[in-house]
């Protein structure tokens, strides 16, 4: 079972990412994995495996529109499928 | 400040473009970008950079091994590690292999330019 302090690492990693990369604070909601019987998956999903003291995955999923805004904040001009995949991987990895 | 050549190493296209776009040090010219350590070594032979920004987690050859090899080829090279791995052990290992600075992802343009400028100041 994850402890509160360990969860905080991911919460802080996520909020810090958006504060710095998007110059916009992220709001924190209640965690969930499944809604209405199906996993919460948007247009693009990045998954990073974690091993060591704990094992599991960091899972970042976002709609294309949100990723487009994030790329614009980063002054990126390429909004291709490849760039979207690159971005969700980078976000998951950084978090 | 003398003109310096910069090589950018990161497995993310977005990050390579971001660093290239954001670095605003007049004395620096980007001479190449590489997606992993092996590509970086190839580009090093072709371009002989003075400064390298280096990701750590990359396929084929990671940043730590690449730092070691670059320093062996050119001891005076300046290497700024830019990584999401924020743990102390990674930073210490990178420094022990020869890196000269460490910048955590995510970073602002200002943080990037300050980190590169500090690297150049220390090597002047």
- Residue stretches of chain B with pLDDT short of 70: 1, 124
Among the partner residues B17, B18, B105, nearest to A94 by beta-carbon distance: B105
How high does pLDDT run on average in chain B?
93
In contact, A39 and A33? CB cutoff 8 Å:
yes
| pTM of the predicted protein model | 0.90
CA atoms within 13 A on the CB side of A22: 16
Report yes or no on A16 lying in a domain.
Answer: yes
Domain that holds residue B119: 4-123
In contact, A65 and A85? CB cutoff 8 Å:
no
pLDDT of residue B29: 95
Number of domains chain B is built from = 1
Nearest Cα to A43, choosing from A78, A2, A93, A83?
A83
DSSP single-letter state for residue B59: S
Q: Which residues of B touch A90 (CB under 8 A)?
A: 12, 14-15, 105
Q: Which residues of B touch A21 (CB under 8 A)?
A: 106
Report yes or no on A33 lying in a domain.
Answer: no
- Which of A17, A88, A93 best probes binding to B when mutated, by most B CB atoms within 10 angstroms? A93
- Tens digit of pLDDT for each residue in B33-51? 999 999 999 999 999 999 9
Which helix (H) or strand (E) element contains residue B13?
helix B13-22
pLDDT of residue A41: 87
pLDDT of residue A40: 77
| pLDDT band with cut points at 50, 70 and 90 for residue A67 | very high
Report yes or no on A45 lying in a domain.
Answer: yes
Domain that holds residue A74: 4-28+41-94
Question: In this complex, do A94 and B21 lie within 8 Å of one another by their Cβ atoms?
Answer: no
| pLDDT band with cut points at 50, 70 and 90 for residue A6 | confident
Question: In this complex, do A86 and B57 lie within 8 Å of one another by their Cβ atoms?
Answer: no
- Residue B104 maps to which CATH number? 3.40.50.2300
Question: In this complex, do B21 and A20 lie within 8 Å of one another by their Cβ atoms?
Answer: no
| pLDDT band with cut points at 50, 70 and 90 for residue A58 | confident
Number of domains chain A is built from = 1
Q: A56-62 and A44-50: which strand pairing?
A: antiparallel
Residue of B nearest to A84 (CA): B14
Report yes or no on A55 lying in a domain.
Answer: yes
Report yes or no on A85 lying in a domain.
Answer: yes
How many whole angstroms separate alpha carbon B51 and alpha carbon B63? Answer: 14
pLDDT of residue A8: 86
- Tens digit of pLDDT for each residue in A21-35? 888 888 888 877 776
């Amino acid at each position: 079972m994850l402890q509160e302090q360990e969860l905080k690492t991911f919460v802080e990693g996520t909020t810090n990412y958006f504060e710095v990369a998007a110059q916009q604070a992220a709001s924190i909601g209640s965690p969930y994995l499944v809604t209405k019987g199906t996993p919460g998956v948007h247009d693009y999903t990045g998954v990073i495996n974690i091993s060591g003291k704990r094992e599991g995955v960091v899972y970042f999923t976002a709609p294309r529109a949100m990723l487009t805004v994030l790329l614009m904040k980063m002054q990126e001009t390429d909004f291709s499928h490849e760039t979207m995949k690159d971005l969700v991987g980078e976000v998951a990895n950084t978090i | 400040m003398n003109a310096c050549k910069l090589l950018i190493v990161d497995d993310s296209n977005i990050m390579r473009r971001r660093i290239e776009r954001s670095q605003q040090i007049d004395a620096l010219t980007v001479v190449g970008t590489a997606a992993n350590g092996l590509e970086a070594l190839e580009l090093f032979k072709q371009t002989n950079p003075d400064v390298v920004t280096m990701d750590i987690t990359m396929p084929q050859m990671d940043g730590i091994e690449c730092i070691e090899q670059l320093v062996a080829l050119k001891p005076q090279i300046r290497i700024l590690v830019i990584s999401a791995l924020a743990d102390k052990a990674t930073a210490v290992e990178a420094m022990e292999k020869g890196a000269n600075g460490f910048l955590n992802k995510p970073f602002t343009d200002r943080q990037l330019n300050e980190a590169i400028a500090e690297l150049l100041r220390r090597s002047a």
